[in-house]
Amino acid sequence: MRIVDARAMSISHEDLIAVTETSVYYREKSGETSFSIFRYDEANGTVTPVSRRVYEDYGISKLFISGGRVYFLNETPDRTGVIRTELIAFDYRSGEEEVLATFEKRGNSTLYWVLADRYFLFLTSFGDADEAWLYDAETAFQERIRDERLVGHAGKFRELYLFTSDLEGVPYIVCNARLDEFAYYEALEAGRVSPDDAIDHSEAILICSLDDAVEAVRERISEIPFEDLIRLHGEGDTVQYLGERDNRLRFSAFVDAANEETIYEVTAPDVLREVTVVDWGAYEPIDFTYDDVSSTIFIKVEESENHTELIDATNGARFLDTAPFERVLASIYFIHESAEGGGGVSIFNLETNERQTFEDAYYTVLDETIVILSTKQL
């Protein structure tokens, strides 16, 4: 793992495509809708255009990276409200593009998700109406998605976070389903709902094979056949995504009544392997951080003017520094991010015993690289 200072680049974390040992590939926007793909070479600071044309996206512009390709949309509207949309697969190293499909629809389309480099999930908005639909790039089949959980939509204050994982050689969709507490309690205070209304307060991990999900869309079935891997019903119970370790998804499940949190790894379609159990009663935590890069929980147990101590909940490792920090990456980089003023990032390198400070900055992690970005681009 290394650090790349990209504050001079007019990009945010949403524009990053890939980081190699020598270069950063990224999207740079011009105006509200136009963008191009560029490469920044660290050795000499040069910026090279990679794309051979300028693209336009009038909806929510999202990038999906898989292998050496990035998927996105290029839209051309006409005067009648019809938008001609190209689905682009772009090889960011060579600059070659492939137009996988072209659609003409009324309204703005958003590429919501890409599955197995074959299935593309879209949301198209026109007026007050939204339509979710699936496109199969191998067969050119397309069909409306009736169960909008597949594109992260759910009613009654539910939050859905969708992930993919190969289990026993078969691709699966895994969903972390939660109550959106902020929206729910805001609705309670506003009187839009009553505490007696039937609201699903449970938190769960759901799973469905990709083939079964696609077949449900093809057959126009109203619900994707998700099954529960775990479901918690207690008030205060939570399920939290913790990233991937060795290509296996990790989650933590907190049971409020026991004051315990179990970190699980999804090892099979019907198996959650217990990684560790955190007995919160054994700590006096000042704070804690769910870390989806290190796939663990960092527990802050000491904090004073000259001393901060964290514990890695997964392996019990203790980390000490004279300055504040909230997480540790690669067991080397102690990271503190502050929102005060214009924001800033401080990173202590345990191997070199050096501390770097970046002003007006925040950071993200991509391709085993800590990328420092400018808060002025947010």
The yes-or-no verdict on residue 377 having pLDDT over 90 is: no
Q: Among residues of the chain, what percentage have pLDDT more than 70?
A: 100
Q: pLDDT higher for 341 or 36? A: 36
Nearest Cα neighbor of 173 from 195, 205, 202 is: 205
Report the distance separating Cα 267 and Cα 264, nearest Å: 9
Average pLDDT over residues 354-375: 96
Rounded distance, CA 86 to CA 55, Å? 10
Average confidence (pLDDT) over 299-314: 95
Cβ proximity of 264 and 252 under 8 Å: yes
Q: What is the arrangement of strands in the sheet containing 344-349, beginning at the earlier edge strand?
A: 327-329, 333-338, 344-349, 354-359
Kindly state the tokens that stand for 10: 């007019």
d(CA 187, CA 197): 12
This prediction has a pTM of 0.91
Least Cα distance to 9 among 45, 36, 44 occurs for 45
Q: Which span out of 154-163, 198-207, 344-353 was modeled with the highest average pLDDT?
A: 344-353
- Which residue, 51, 49, 52, is CA-closest to 40? 49
Picking from 187, 291, 272, 171, the residue whose alpha carbon sits closest to that of residue 228 is: 272
Strand 369-374 to 2-5 pairing: parallel
Where residue 184 falls (left for φ over 0; alpha for ψ -120 to 50; beta otherwise) is alpha
pLDDT number for residue 155: 82
Mean pLDDT computed over 297-316: 95
